[in-house]
Amino acid sequence: MGGSSMKRLTRVGRSLLRNLIQAVPTMFVIVTLGFFVLQLAPGDAADYMAAESGAATQETVADIRRAFGLDLPLLDQLANYYTSLAHFSLGISPRYGVPVADLIMERLPGTLTLMVLAIVIALLVGIAAGTIMALNATRAADRILSVASLLFYSVPTFWIGLIFIIVFSVKLGWLPAGGMKTIGASSGGFGWLIDRVSYALLPATSLALYYMAIYARLTRSSILEVIGQDHVRTAKAKGLAPRQVVLRHVLRNALIPITTVAGIHVAGILGGAIVIETVFSWPGMGRLAFDAVMAREYTLLLGIMLVSSVLVICVNAIVDIIQAALDPRIEVR
């Protein structure tokens, strides 16, 4: 048993090292492509700052470009950015005048909170609904939940967010309409936790409903496929209780494709966070990215793209490990 555990830990370590090595060229491609695509947009941070001030002269705009290297040829700007990355720096934001890393780290906890809560809600509710649908196939519960999942899959997330604000904030007054915390609230304890959850519940649920519908449909189809396999029939023949059969033999095997899809959806959840954070005034990376686009903050956008890519790569590595734990036959890649 100990030797088997050591072998599995060794494979996991090799997998993490392999993912780390593969991440380097991936980051290179993302930064390079992102840099040139962003340059296709008209204007730069100096133009936006001049328009924002309303009184900037041509000399002032030229000084801003010179100070941040925006007047250099594109290849020189890209080389300078790679030099900054080699020194573990994401550059300086022209508009804010502070390191990009500081801006991202200030907003990263908000985005991670929203993402984790949305994924947890989507997986828990989606898997539970899909299990009910599969165990009651062609019955009323299956039809009702199928229609509900189709509805959530079809409706845009921002529209759901607006409906939630109108119903739960404006009409009922149960939950706050925006922001991340109550001003002047305690900085710890159970009251702090309740306050944070109350602010995160509406945006996280709005973001989760689309993916919850996908996981519900996927769980239903996976369970219906697994439930007819030989090992499940054998478990039933041995006299195991239906609940044990579902939990030990059916659901465990049905979760494998769901974890794969959930890992793929992390990038989509990050993209959806831009809209949701704007609707709910949530201070996260998505809203920061939106502001950076409007202000032509290309350095800040590249930093956000880089950090987001690292998050996606890390989550996919974790998904590989979870799949190997669910099914020992799967080798950790």
Q: Give DSSP secondary structure letters for 258-283.
A: HHHHHHHHHHHHHHHHHHHHHHTT--
Please give the tally of structural domains in the chain: 1
Please give the average per-residue pLDDT across 283-303, as a whole number.
85
**Rounded to an integer, what distance in angstroms lies between the CA atom of residue 154 and that of residue 151?**
5
**Residue 299 domain-assigned?**
no
Beta bridge partners of 99: 92
Q: Determine the longest span between alpha carbons in the chain, in angstroms.
A: 84
Q: Is 91 helix (H, G, I), strand (E, B) or coil?
A: coil
Q: Which of 143-147, 250-254, 312-316, 323-327 has the lowest mean pLDDT?
A: 323-327
Q: For position 113, what pLDDT does the model report?
A: 86
Q: What is the pLDDT of residue 4?
A: 56
Domain assignment present for residue 200? The answer is yes
What distance lies between CA 267 and its chain's CA centroid?
5
Is residue 310 in some structural domain? no
For residue 76, pLDDT over 80 is answered with yes
Residue 204's CATH number: 1.10.3720.10
User: What rounded mean pLDDT belongs to the chain?
Assistant: 80
pLDDT in tens, 78-92: 888 888 888 888 888
> Residue 231 pLDDT more than 80?
no
The answer to whether residue 72 sits within a structural domain is: no
Most trustworthy range by pLDDT among 10-14, 212-216, 269-273: 212-216
Given this model, what pLDDT does residue 125 score? 92
Domain ranges, residue 211: 107-294
| Rounded Cα–Cα distance for residues 6 and 4 (Å) | 5
Q: What are phi and psi of 92, to 5 degrees?
A: -115, 135
| 135 found inside a domain | yes
- Whether 7 shows a pLDDT value over 70: the answer reads no
